[in-house]
């Protein structure tokens, strides 16, 4: 009888020891899981902070580029109005009214990351109308927009304006026949293209207006806002008399 009791006591001790060992093992596993979870949370928080810094830096760069576009654009526009005042005050007054519409766009839309495409197109139409006032009859200006009115595309504001400015700056001669042909079209729900072809008259060496920063800004903004989401071909023909630029952007509808 006593032997049986000792066997039972031994069994209980072994069972209790086994339970205690399993508890310790489970405790260690739980602690490891908790440590792993805390480490994962720490890594994710660090990644979020690094991503936030990158986004802030990117936004700062974009804002800096856009802040340069405004005075560059205004300088060119005011130069055009100044030239009109000398020979046609009525047209100059009309140009000031057109400029006021452009300024509203700069004030209210330029601070947004993306705006509806129809608002950007309205801005470009007003700009072309302003530039057209001072053109002579020897300039063939064509501007076509082939985009459905209900197109949901949203676009970065002022992404095309430097291309337009470049065409009017280099595409017009005061004495020779000139042309500027512009077409903006969409080949899909999230694709937007701007094709510009113009006669090419290089500016003189002593002409420093614009300082050549317009197209450089376009390139930098495209790289920041549409990385790997655009194609841009540009350059003169073999005779250096015609300049052509085709920019296609894969845009957003959000």
Residues 217, 65 contacting (CB under 8 angstroms): yes
Q: What is the C-alpha to C-alpha distance for residues 247 and 221, in angstroms, rounded to an integer? A: 13
Q: Quote the pLDDT of residue 131.
A: 83
Go through the chain and tell me how many residues it has.
254
- Tell me 252's DSSP state: B
Half-sphere exposure (Cβ direction) of 8: Cα atoms closer than 13 Å: 5
Q: Within 10 A of 173 (CB to CB), how many other CB atoms are there? A: 14
Categorise residue 240: left if φ over 0, alpha if ψ from -120 to 50, beta otherwise.
left
Q: Which residues contact 5 (CB under 8 A, 6 or more apart)?
A: none
Q: Quote the pLDDT of residue 243.
A: 95
- In the chain, % of residues over pLDDT 90: 21
Residues 200, 207 contacting (CB under 8 angstroms): no
Residues 159, 225 contacting (CB under 8 angstroms): yes
Q: Is the pLDDT of residue 36 over 90?
A: no
Residues 155, 147 contacting (CB under 8 angstroms): no
Residues 121, 147 contacting (CB under 8 angstroms): yes
Q: If you average pLDDT over each of 6-20, 55-69, 79-93, 138-152, which comes out highest?
A: 138-152
Q: Is the pLDDT of residue 49 over 50?
A: yes
Q: Quote the pLDDT of residue 244.
A: 95
Q: Quote the pLDDT of residue 47.
A: 62
**Residue from 226, 169, 217 nearest 69 by CA:** 217
Per-residue pLDDT tens digits for 179-198: 999 999 987 778 899 999 99
Q: Quote the pLDDT of residue 151.
A: 75
Q: Which residues contact 246 (CB under 8 A, 6 or more apart)?
A: 193, 194, 195, 196, 231, 232, 233, 234
Per-residue pLDDT tens digits for 92-148: 777 777 777 777 777 776 677 888 888 899 889 988 988 887 788 899 999 999 988
Q: Is the pLDDT of residue 41 over 90?
A: no
């Amino acid at each position: 009888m006593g032997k049986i009791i000792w066997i039972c006591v031994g069994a209980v001790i072994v069972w209790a020891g086994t339970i205690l060992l399993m508890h310790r093992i489970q405790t260690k596993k739980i602690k490891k899981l908790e440590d792993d979870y805390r480490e994962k949370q720490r890594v994710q928080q660090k990644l979020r902070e690094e991503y936030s810094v990158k986004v802030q830096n990117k936004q700062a760069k974009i804002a800096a580029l856009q802040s340069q576009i405004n005075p560059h654009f205004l300088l060119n526009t005011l130069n055009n109005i100044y030239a009109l005042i000398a020979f046609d005050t009525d047209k100059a007054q009309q140009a000031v009214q057109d400029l006021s519409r452009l300024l509203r766009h700069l004030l209210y839309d330029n601070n947004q990351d993306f705006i509806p495409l129809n608002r950007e197109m309205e801005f470009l139409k007003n700009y072309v109308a302003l530039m057209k006032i001072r053109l002579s009859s020897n300039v063939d200006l064509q501007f076509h927009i082939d985009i459905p009115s209900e197109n949901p595309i949203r676009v970065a504001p002022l992404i095309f304006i430097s291309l337009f400015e470049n065409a009017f700056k280099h595409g017009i001669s005061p004495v020779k026949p000139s042309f500027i042909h512009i077409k903006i079209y969409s080949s899909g729900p999230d694709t937007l293209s701007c094709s510009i072809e113009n006669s090419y008259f290089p500016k003189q060496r002593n002409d420093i207006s614009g300082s050549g920063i317009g197209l450089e800004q376009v390139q930098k903004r495209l790289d920041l806002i549409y990385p790997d989401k655009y194609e841009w071909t540009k350059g003169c023909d073999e005779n250096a008399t015609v300049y052509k630029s085709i920019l296609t952007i894969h845009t957003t509808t959000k």
